[in-house]
Structure 1
Amino acid sequence: SAVRVADTADEIDLEPVSHSALRSLLDTQRTVRDVPVGLDVASVSRVTVLGEGEQAGDEVRAAVRAWLAQAVCWHDPTMLGVALASPELESPEWSWLKWLPHTDIAGAVDGVGPARYLAASGEQLVGLLAPVLATRPPFTGEPADAVRHLLVIVDDPNFDVAASVLGAGRAGVTVIVVGGASAPHREQYPDPERPILRITAGGQAIDRWQTGGWVRFVDAADSVSVADVGHLGRRLSRWDSNPTHAGLRSAGTRGATFTTLLGIADASQLDVPALWSPRSREDELRVPIGVTATGEPLYFDLKDEAEGGMGPHGLMIGMTGSGKSQTLMSILLSLLTTHSADRLIVIYADFKGEAGADIFRHFPQVVAVISNMAEKKSLADRFADTLRGEVARRELLLREAGRRVQGSAFNSVTEYEAAIAAGHDLAPIPTLFIVADEFTLMLADHPEYAELFDYVARKGRSFRIHILFASQTLDVGKIKDIDKNTSYRIGLKVASASVSRQIIGVEDAYHIESGKEHKGEGFLVPAPGAAPIKFRSTYVDGIYDPPRRSRAVVINALPEPRLFTAAAVDSGQDTTIVDEQELPEVAPRKLIATIGDQLAGYGPQAPPLWLPPLEEPIPLAATLATAGISERALRWPLGQIDKPFDMRRDPLVFDARSASGNLLIHGSPKSGKTTALQTFILSAAALHSPREVSFYCVDYGGGQLRALDGLAHVGSVASGLEPDKIRRTFGELEQLLTARQQREAFRDGSIGAFNDGYGEVFLIIDNLYGFSRDNTDAFNTRNPLLAKVTELVNVGLAYGIHVVVTTPSWLEVPLAMRDGLGLRLELKLHDARDSNVRVAGALTRPAEAVPANQPGRGLTMAAEHFLIAQPDLEQIAAINARHPGLAAPPVRLLPTNLAPEELGTLYPAPEHVVIGVREEDLAPVQVDFTTNPLLLVLGDTKSGKTSLLRHLIRTVREHNTAEQVAFTVIDRRLHLVDEPLYPDNEYTANVDRVIPAMLGLSALVGSRRPPAGLSATDLAAWSYEGHTHYLIIDDVDAIPDTPALSGPYAGQRPWTTLIELLSQATDLGLRVIVTGRATGSGHALMTNPLLRRLNDLQATTLMLSGNPADSGKIRGQRFARLPAGRAILLADNDEPTYLQLVNPQFSQ
């Protein structure tokens, strides 16, 4: 900004010495001398340069030469092009332009190299420029940033620029007219877009035309001699900042594409054996990836710095649009094209998920292209395990090989290869090149991986594991010590000067210009402290067009020297080029794919260090085929375990003879629990017969196990809607367990030891949560059968009875059961915090890495990922066909109607009456009236109460005489009216007869008491005389328990005298059988004195069908909806026993 002095009203007030010094300062500094003056050619369309005097032409040309020299020196050919029209084209004043790359015509050649925008006349130059000018919009005065600026010099006095296409003005084109024009008229208006300049004062100054005359523009004009510009042109001839540009100049950089840098004539016809031929260690892993600013090839040397390379590890930073992916692809393609898989293998890991590197996936040296790790956490974990595993594998290989060769471990791969060179037969260890793209994003989500990278970087130096870390930015706080382990740095266009300084030590990477024409430009620092080398990487991600000159027919192949002139040089007649229409048409393909397809046909292949994650379903048939498990081994595969650290997959095997013979599978809904059970059963069935393994399923998981009901190995599938079948299943298993406990054959451990038709038995419970909450109420919160499951878990394994359960949560498994479940498989959980899988020292839970929406994926207790194989239910028929006539023993169910003849002996002993079969073991159930003379039967209508009474009456009557037994039957509803009794027995349906009948019976029975005054000995020997009396009261709720209102029994209740005798019924020969309704029985047991007394005396109770909501509970047991004749027996211990009552009116 200008320095000004405030005005002073009266200078007399100023101090004289200071005032004089101020004036002297202002006079001296008022004018700045020798300030450069420039002309913005981007904002003008035409510049006319005139001269004075006899030397006007030479002075003008000298000035224009100076302008051109500055322009071409400070602008590369991608930004600035130069064109010339002059009859004196070959004169020293202009011929020097032929050396400049700025004059090249893109894509055109002549007899000595690229064609040039140099013409002997204006008309000829217009013809050369016509294709370019046709694409340019009209000139607007604004810089044309997106196009190459053309500087056109016209030194042809016979050519009228204004009348030609050059006079119209085009965007990005500036025409400089040298002389040949008359001085402007004094009335001529100056056009700022078309200035007129005059070289004056003998070439020492420049005037500019303004309104009314000339105004000094430059006091000291620049001029350059012909010799200087000639030298400058030759020096610039080797310069080219766009090596992929088709019009490259020198032999070292002409067509400096990927193919030319590697010396490949045609990338579609590679000589792979020659490219992969052995190299000296100096040339190994050293490939060109671009060109430097001087046009020389830039070599990327991956070797360790101790071997003359730049490695082992490097860092590349480049913002979006900088060409980072382009540079990485160039590095990879150069290395892969020139090295086989026994010398180099590659892992490309991209955390962000870009698919650009997928094109390398099929190269034989590429171990894996891992992308999208940000969305798939499991991929990041696998990548970490793979790196750790490869370090460990190489360390083990060097140790074992070293001990075999020299008695001690090799310290590095270099020593290992020295042993190979000495003649030892050792397998080659290829260099592992790891590209970690967007590694800073990985560290942001997984900060623990910083230590992993640091570990691999330190160990990898000796093991030939090289890492190139690439990212868009650099966060020193997150990468920790990673940058300290890198030796070479590559800085592309970055977002800030500070990042540039962190990468290459200077700010140059920040100042790289933006735009697609600058993609791939950057700086390489080959070693710490080295000077940055500017380069541009080759572009390899484009469509490859095979060279058409490969179809040329050469008539005279002898080379012939030609003079290099500014004008076009004739190519001669010794080469005939095939026209384009004669060339065969080929489908366009990318360069990388073109090369990769050819390399894929050559070996060796990269070792399988990386196996793809367990994402694709695994058929059970394939798992069985690859598991290597023989038949009848009581072992079978369930899926595959992923072991990225060991670089393999192992079968997930269930071993029935091991301590892990009981299995728990827990996971959230839709995690694949039921499918895992199907796989479990079908896999076992594929390797064993139904006599060797059998399965009994309890399905609370949605009914999918029902599909296995047709499998010969499956004895039963019971759903939660089949409680009878579930109880019978447990009954069968308990009976089997008891039988095996009583035998010793199981101790020899063979399959045939049991010899009971079951083999190894498996109880399958799908959804333990639903099972444990079935058959519960407010007082019994767990299924009573859950205790039986716990017993089988803890005891059954020793007797060949196994338990396999699924549950949504580990917390649902009872504590007493947990230790017996030896094998636990954890599928995807809703909340990873519920996981039981832990890894010591890990910051996160392994369960977080289990992917969602992939049923069957889970973790073992060792934190190993697995995938359950997919069962094929269509194979059931084929499996059954291999075992004709064999099937697992089915679960025997209680009959729905039981004929008396099916029970055998109905009266096995005096006063022992068989009333049905129990569900537990289908054994006959008898009522022993000598032990408990009281029987209470409760049930709703049509539940079987009367049928039971018929059976009791008939059985007792048929097996006794009238002298032995007597009956008193109170049948209010006449259900038993047709049932014959003994003569003189009491049968009444009249309510009025109940009280006298009870009075008479009470008197009879009461008379059997021993008389008073007997001694203890006499009392012990006392017994009554007479028959056993059976009192049968059907539908006691139909008989009102109210006092008689009139008659001889007024005021008496029907059961008062009877109740007094119930406690002595056994000793007095009284047997009481009472039936009543189930509905309301809970209340009746408290209000009806007879029922209350029977309940107090623990009468044998049969609970038939009743409404569980309205019938209350009897001695802790709730009623249930049961089929007719089905009952729950409550004996003295109150343990419920389900049984089917005999139906005397049903015959088999």
Structure 2
Amino acid sequence: MLERLERRDSVPVRQEVQLDRFSAAEAETLCRHLAGLRLSADSLEHDASSQALQVTGLLGVDDVERIDLDALWGPRPRTSFLRVPIGTDDQGDPVMLDLKESAQFGMGPHGICVGATGSGKSELLRTLVLALLTSHGPDDLAMVLVDYKGGATFAPFATAPQVSGVITNLSDDSTLVERVYASLAGEVQRRQQMLKDAGNLSDISAYRRLRREQAGAGASLPPMPHLLVIIDEFGELLTARPDFIELFLSIGRIGRSIGVHLLLSSQRIEGGKLRGLDTYLSYRIGLRTLSEAESRTILDTTDAYALPALPGYGYLKVDTTTYTRFRAGYVSGAIPDDTEVEVDEAPVLRPLADYPAIPVEDEPGVETTEADALDEEPTGPTVLATVIDQIARRPASGSPVWLPPLPEQLTLDQAAGPAVATAEGVRVPSAGPLRVPIGRLDDPRGQTQGPWELDLAAAGGHVLVIGAPRSGKTTVLRTLAASLAVTHRVEEAVVYAIDLLGSNLMALDGLPNVAGVGLRSDPEVVRRTVEEVHALLERREDLFQRLRVDSLPAARAAAGPASGEMLADVVLLVDGYGLVEDFAGLEETMLTLVRRGGGLGIHVVATATRWNDVRMQQQTFFGTKVELRLADAGDSAVDSKLSATLRDAPAGRALLPARLFAQVALPRVDGRADRGSAAEGLAELVARVGESATSTAPRVRLLPSVVASGDLAPAGRAGMVPLGLHEATLETVTIDLEGTDRHVLALGDSQTGRTSLLRHVVQTLIAQHTPEEIVFAVIDPRRVLRGEVPDEYLGGYASSAPLAERLVAAVLPELQKRVPMQVGDEPEETHLPKIVVVVDDYEVVTAGSSSPLAPLVPFISMAAEVNLHVLLTRRTSGASRGVYESAFMALRDSGSVGLMYSGDRTEGQLLGSERPQRLPTGRARLLRTGEPTITVQVGHREQADDALGGRGFGDG
């Protein structure tokens, strides 16, 4: 019997009742049903995922697999806009977080969340994000989710249309930190400009109201959703980049009016790092902290430090009005087996007799699994994944705040646009003439990515690319040449290239637009390539003067297509500009090209390792500058801090003067972004372009290695000797022994062609004159000219210094007779034969301070009066001293034609200002007084048969 007291109308009433029987079996059955329950939330031994409130319950979503997003994303009352549940309080009531500003009765717009490892911070952020995504459409809300260290927290939300970007692993890539800063700063500026363009509106609320009004009238402004920026581990971000606080402060000041909401999250935080930002943080979420000081920093109390060591518990503090303890929702758990729960229906109590006691060992169909033994949750689709899968099917709207980072490698067609076959061959899109796409440009502040084009017509027309070894400098040149070939016809652009580092540019030689490629291993081709461009510059200067025009387009219009002039823009690629000084005469020519070429349609695109590799006076002419990864970021001419972020960047990542980054494309149009097979891709591009080309660039004219004397154009008259071929024009160069070229001096090392020059001149003179018109005196200490002069033409032959002195002594009386003794005197004979003194290897006969030609010095300057010619050669070695020998000085000062064959540059200036340089056999630099130095391939003549004898000079 059990007595029970009841109150009826405030009067106690006593009743007697009798309990039902409760057997041991029935008690066991009840216990088994109660075993599935858990202890209260304050217990330390419970399953966090089971007790945490799921967001589906808070949002009233009965079936997470079939969510009506149209209804949830529809117009919302002002009070519920940006207001979502994040958990429950101690009484089980929902705890709401309202991101609106306080003037709209919200808690925002900015806040901070701090929680130690294991406090449930990541799950709280996921719950908040998922609640907002489920209840707000893309036109109302956008998000940028940043995780400085990892990426697991926000990774599931990457496909949601409201998420403008999920940015992770900033600590591993410093370039991403710069992009985050620029992207957020650019979004702030963009929103300010949108408010201004809409009529200088005061805030986002006015903008959205005006947009709704215009939409009703048939027109509409572009959407401006509220933007929530969540930065996880922002404390680590501020440690690595303290200047980020300035951006946070800027958003804190103006974020309310432009609709940008900031939520900063971190495991730990020090008050000093906030540096005034805390004044803009209107709501604070404190999960369990590791110290009382951190709790005070966030909540001004130590309560967060005293929270249970269980995930999800925390405090929400809003200014001084709200201070609530809550338990965060849990969205990462598996979908319940039965999601259709009748919430409003009262539970039905069933008699215990309906649940008979069944021993565990006799329970049919039940097996104990390993998961049961370990008390693990069953696996399967989670609430988060299921909801996001449905949200991701909806289209996005608005402007993306965050674009994917630049790829580590891409192809030319991926950067510029698909390569298509046209009547002019393979082509990729280009913005205009001389705008050459070479990669992809990233402008996070402007929230755009697009083709990176080098404008060769801008900033003086020259480009300088700086970068450390293996940074992609050569790839820039190869891609530029390939891009020119697929965007410009040969009549529009022609490429010349010199590779002073190796042979990486040789692959370009097959392109129709490429006129020639000079490699370091072939200095002659290098020099000819530069001289060809220099000759083109001089011709264009003359043409512009004749046509009275000041630009290449004007010259094209004035000259017309029938002019025969090559008026295409010329691009000279120089890989290794700092090595130009290693090539004799090349530095001065290059300086001329960069100084005067820009206005004449000649563009120099050069690479160097450092800025200092280019002389200061030349740097100013390179108006377009590109910086790749530098060996020392402090050498950057753009920004040393930005340059330092390229330390681990892939090859081809460039920093531009506008403080933007770009990625150089691989020179291929097959869509295969594979650096390992870039050579094959370039070869395929060259083949495709070459097959469809209708014309090719004029090749660099190169002298042949041997020019036979018989292949030269014949002389116009006696005394005119066809010397060889002009390097620039490949036309015959002549010397006039009857005019200004009375004497010939030739210097060079052994086996360079000096003696062949004497054979060629002697045989030419013999062919032009009879024995009565010319006579030769030959000094040949090495006896290589024996038999070159027939007996009837030979006046004397000397093979040693003593014989040479005797031979000169025999010539003197003949010359003296020809010298007028006083004014008006005439020579005794009116037709005096030419006296030609031929001297080979002069250094041999002048050894030991001997000077056999010294007696001829007075007659050398009056050669025209006495009809004298001297042909003299000597070795380059020791010539720096030998040039002071009296006869040599007399010949040099008389204006003799000089030929400088191959020799050692260290001998100094031997003829005029010319220094010896390494040249092929038979190649010589031709010097004439008052004329520019040219290079010729001297005609070669085979050696004649041996012969001795002759008429003789007196007793010689």
TM range (shorter): 0.7 to 0.9
1:922 counterpart residue number: 730
Identify if the C-alpha distance between structure 1 residues 125 and 1116 changes in structure 2 by more than 3 Å, giving closer, same or farther.
Answer: farther
Offset from partner CA, 1:906-949 (integer Å, 9 cap, x none):
3x455332211232443433334443533232334432222211
1:1004 counterpart residue number: 814
Offset from partner CA, 1:237-276 (integer Å, 9 cap, x none):
x99999976877xxxxxx8322222223332333333332
Helix, strand or coil at the partner of 2:505: helix
RMSD of aligned residue pairs (Cα, Å)? 3.9
Contact 1:732 1:921 survives alignment (8 Å): no
1:655 counterpart residue number: 455
Residue 756 (structure 1) aligned to one of 532, 546, 565: 565
Residue 462 (structure 1) aligned to one of 249, 253, 257: 257
Residue 405 (structure 2) aligned to one of 571, 588, 613: 613
Contact 1:937 1:1076 survives alignment (8 Å): yes
Identify if the C-alpha distance between structure 1 residues 689 and 300 changes in structure 2 by more than 3 Å, giving closer, same or farther.
Answer: same
Offset from partner CA, 1:296-338 (integer Å, 9 cap, x none):
2212222222222211111111122222112111111111122
Shifted more, 744-753 versus 1062-1071: the winner is: 744-753
Shifted more, 981-990 versus 721-730: the winner is: 981-990
2:685 counterpart residue number: 875
The reply to whether residue 1035 of structure 1 matches residue 841 of structure 2 is yes
Pairs within 5 Å for 1:989-1028: 989-991=798-800, 993-1011=803-821, 1014-1015=822-823, 1018=824, 1026-1028=832-834
1:564 and 1:304 mapped to 2: Cα distance?
51
Helix, strand or coil at the partner of 1:742: helix
Pairs within 5 Å for 1:199-278: 256-278=53-75
Pairs within 5 Å for 1:734-753: 734-743=534-543, 744=547, 746=552, 748=554, 750=556
Offset from partner CA, 1:735-787 (integer Å, 9 cap, x none):
222222222274626586674245111111111012x2313xxxxxxx52122
2:366 and 2:460 mapped to 1: Cα distance?
74
2:394 and 2:273 mapped to 1: Cα distance?
42
Contact 2:463 2:625 survives alignment (8 Å): yes
2:752 and 2:436 mapped to 1: Cα distance?
48
The reply to whether residue 804 of structure 1 matches residue 605 of structure 2 is yes
2:46 and 2:538 mapped to 1: Cα distance?
88
| Deviation for aligned residue 1:797 | 2.2
Identify if the C-alpha distance between structure 1 residues 490 and 674 changes in structure 2 by more than 3 Å, giving closer, same or farther.
Answer: same
Contact 2:478 2:505 survives alignment (8 Å): yes
2:50 and 2:833 mapped to 1: Cα distance?
130
| Deviation for aligned residue 1:698 | 0.5
Helix, strand or coil at the partner of 2:722: strand
- Letter of the aligned partner of 2:249 in structure 1? D
- Letter of the aligned partner of 2:59 in structure 1? L
Pairs within 5 Å for 1:1082-1121: 1082=880, 1084-1085=882-883, 1090-1091=887-888, 1094=891, 1099-1106=896-903, 1117-1121=914-918
2:456 and 2:412 mapped to 1: Cα distance?
19
Residue 970 (structure 1) aligned to one of 775, 779, 788: 779
The reply to whether residue 1058 of structure 1 matches residue 868 of structure 2 is no
Residue 472 (structure 1) aligned to one of 267, 271, 281: 267
Pairs within 5 Å for 1:125-164: none
The reply to whether residue 1070 of structure 1 matches residue 868 of structure 2 is yes
Shifted more, 713-722 versus 811-820: the winner is: 811-820
Helix, strand or coil at the partner of 2:228: strand
Helix, strand or coil at the partner of 1:773: helix
1:580 and 1:698 mapped to 2: Cα distance?
82
Contact 2:462 2:604 survives alignment (8 Å): yes
The reply to whether residue 861 of structure 1 matches residue 662 of structure 2 is no
Offset from partner CA, 1:772-817 (integer Å, 9 cap, x none):
2313xxxxxxx52122112122222222222111111222223333
Contact 1:1107 1:1119 survives alignment (8 Å): yes
Pairs within 5 Å for 1:35-434: 256-401=53-198, 403=199, 409-422=200-213, 423=216, 425-426=219-220, 427-434=222-229
| Deviation for aligned residue 1:977 | 2.6
Contact 1:364 1:606 survives alignment (8 Å): no
Residue 1143 (structure 1) aligned to one of 928, 940, 943: 940
Offset from partner CA, 1:672-699 (integer Å, 9 cap, x none):
1111111111112112211221101011
The reply to whether residue 667 of structure 1 matches residue 467 of structure 2 is yes
1:80 counterpart residue number: none
2:387 counterpart residue number: 595
Is there any run of 5+ residues in structure 1 with no aligned partner, and where? 1-87, 94-118, 136-146, 151-235, 249-254, 404-408, 573-577, 776-782, 839-843, 1044-1051
The reply to whether residue 821 of structure 1 matches residue 628 of structure 2 is no
1:1107 and 1:446 mapped to 2: Cα distance?
57
| Deviation for aligned residue 1:902 | 3.0
Identify if the C-alpha distance between structure 1 residues 855 and 892 changes in structure 2 by more than 3 Å, giving closer, same or farther.
Answer: same
| Deviation for aligned residue 1:486 | 0.9
Identify if the C-alpha distance between structure 1 residues 1021 and 750 changes in structure 2 by more than 3 Å, giving closer, same or farther.
Answer: same
1:421 and 1:891 mapped to 2: Cα distance?
67
Helix, strand or coil at the partner of 1:1029: strand
| Deviation for aligned residue 1:1024 | 8.2
The reply to whether residue 512 of structure 1 matches residue 307 of structure 2 is yes
1:400 and 1:348 mapped to 2: Cα distance?
28
1:1069 and 1:647 mapped to 2: Cα distance?
83
Identify if the C-alpha distance between structure 1 residues 1023 and 322 changes in structure 2 by more than 3 Å, giving closer, same or farther.
Answer: farther
Identify if the C-alpha distance between structure 1 residues 1040 and 658 changes in structure 2 by more than 3 Å, giving closer, same or farther.
Answer: closer
2:502 and 2:853 mapped to 1: Cα distance?
52
Higher radius of gyration, 1 or 2: 1
1:558 and 1:725 mapped to 2: Cα distance?
92
| Deviation for aligned residue 1:960 | 2.3
Identify if the C-alpha distance between structure 1 residues 996 and 245 changes in structure 2 by more than 3 Å, giving closer, same or farther.
Answer: closer
1:786 and 1:699 mapped to 2: Cα distance?
15
Identify if the C-alpha distance between structure 1 residues 692 and 982 changes in structure 2 by more than 3 Å, giving closer, same or farther.
Answer: farther
Pairs within 5 Å for 1:445-844: 445-514=240-309, 518-525=310-317, 527-542=318-333, 544-548=334-338, 562=348, 588-605=380-397, 607-625=399-417, 633-743=433-543, 744=547, 746=552, 748=554, 750=556, 755-757=564-566, 759-770=568-579, 772-775=580-583, 783-837=584-638
Identify if the C-alpha distance between structure 1 residues 632 and 1142 changes in structure 2 by more than 3 Å, giving closer, same or farther.
Answer: farther
Identify if the C-alpha distance between structure 1 residues 651 and 626 changes in structure 2 by more than 3 Å, giving closer, same or farther.
Answer: farther
1:868 and 1:636 mapped to 2: Cα distance?
12
Contact 2:223 2:398 survives alignment (8 Å): no
1:350 and 1:949 mapped to 2: Cα distance?
82
The reply to whether residue 900 of structure 1 matches residue 687 of structure 2 is no
| Deviation for aligned residue 1:1056 | 4.2
Offset from partner CA, 1:24-56 (integer Å, 9 cap, x none):
xxxxxxxxxxxxxxxxxxxxxxxxxxxxxxxxx
Contact 1:674 1:766 survives alignment (8 Å): yes
| Deviation for aligned residue 1:959 | 1.7
Helix, strand or coil at the partner of 1:694: strand
Contact 2:82 2:99 survives alignment (8 Å): yes
2:344 and 2:241 mapped to 1: Cα distance?
64
Residue 912 (structure 1) aligned to one of 694, 715, 720: 720
Helix, strand or coil at the partner of 1:704: coil
- Letter of the aligned partner of 2:134 in structure 1? T
| Deviation for aligned residue 1:528 | 0.7
1:944 counterpart residue number: 753
In percent, how many aligned pairs have the same letter?
Answer: 32
Count of aligned positions? 877
2:846 and 2:572 mapped to 1: Cα distance?
51
Shifted more, 799-808 versus 651-660: the winner is: 651-660
Shifted more, 309-318 versus 930-939: the winner is: 930-939
- Letter of the aligned partner of 1:924 in structure 2? T
